[in-house]
Amino acid sequence: MNEEKITIKAEVRKSCLTQRAALREEERKTKSLIIQQKLKDLPDFQKADTVMLFLNFRDEVETTDLAEATIACKKKLVLPRCAPKGILLPLEVSDLAADLEPGAWGIREPKLTKEEVNPLEIDLVVVPGAGFDLQGNRLGYGGGFYDRFFMRLKPSTPRVALAFECQIIKEVPVDKHDAKMTKLITEKTVYDFNQ
């Protein structure tokens, strides 16, 4: 990736994160509940036996209740742990209180003692991001963790992003290694990029 593209991505990322941070806490909580329900209503979620989620950090869409609901539905919950060299470890979690610890950057992550799940067994991946466009492109946080991880999934595995409507931009600057999302859920609607 060239320096100009890196700079553009950093500027767009900063703008998207500023928009997200401007949401009031009450507004963020209300919108998060709507987004969580939309995900739970998705056939992709309902038929999935193994679901990989992210646990919200800072002002992301809240997902802790979603993780609890996934466990309560008797689905296998997989959460990511950041490992060296930009690798995401998909680890199984059955108890949020006992199985987590603060990881990289203070993000709640599964303990290393948890069992690693084969990415080919994951039926649905729910993804965070800084910004999105309506062509299915995702602007991550700059580490490339998810883009590398997506290559380890079955090609048919749905990649569903959760974001607030204010994180949608006209066009995400992309590179050839950037993976598209299959769906994006906001408080407004479910955008389906498979159609």
Question: What DSSP letter does each residue of 164-184 carry, written as one string?
Answer: -GGGB-S-----TTPPPPSEE
Q: Tell whether 55 is in a known binding site.
A: yes
Which domains does the chain possess?
Answer: 3-192 (3.40.50.10420)
User: What's the Cα-to-Cα distance from 167 to each of 95, 154, 161, rounded to whole Å?
Assistant: 31, 28, 11
Q: Write down the pLDDT at residue 183.
A: 98
Q: Tell whether 116 is in a known binding site.
A: no
Spatial separation of the C-alpha atoms in residues 96 and 69, rounded to whole Å = 11
Q: Tell whether 163 is in a known binding site.
A: no
Q: Tell whether 12 is in a known binding site.
A: yes
Question: Per residue of the chain (195 residues), what is the pLDDT tens digit?
Answer: 578 888 889 999 999 999 999 999 999 999 999 999 999 999 999 999 999 999 999 999 999 999 999 999 999 999 999 988 889 999 999 999 999 999 877 889 999 999 999 999 999 999 999 999 999 999 999 888 999 999 999 999 999 999 999 999 999 988 887 889 999 999 999 999 986
Closest CA to 156 of 182, 174, 136, 190: 182
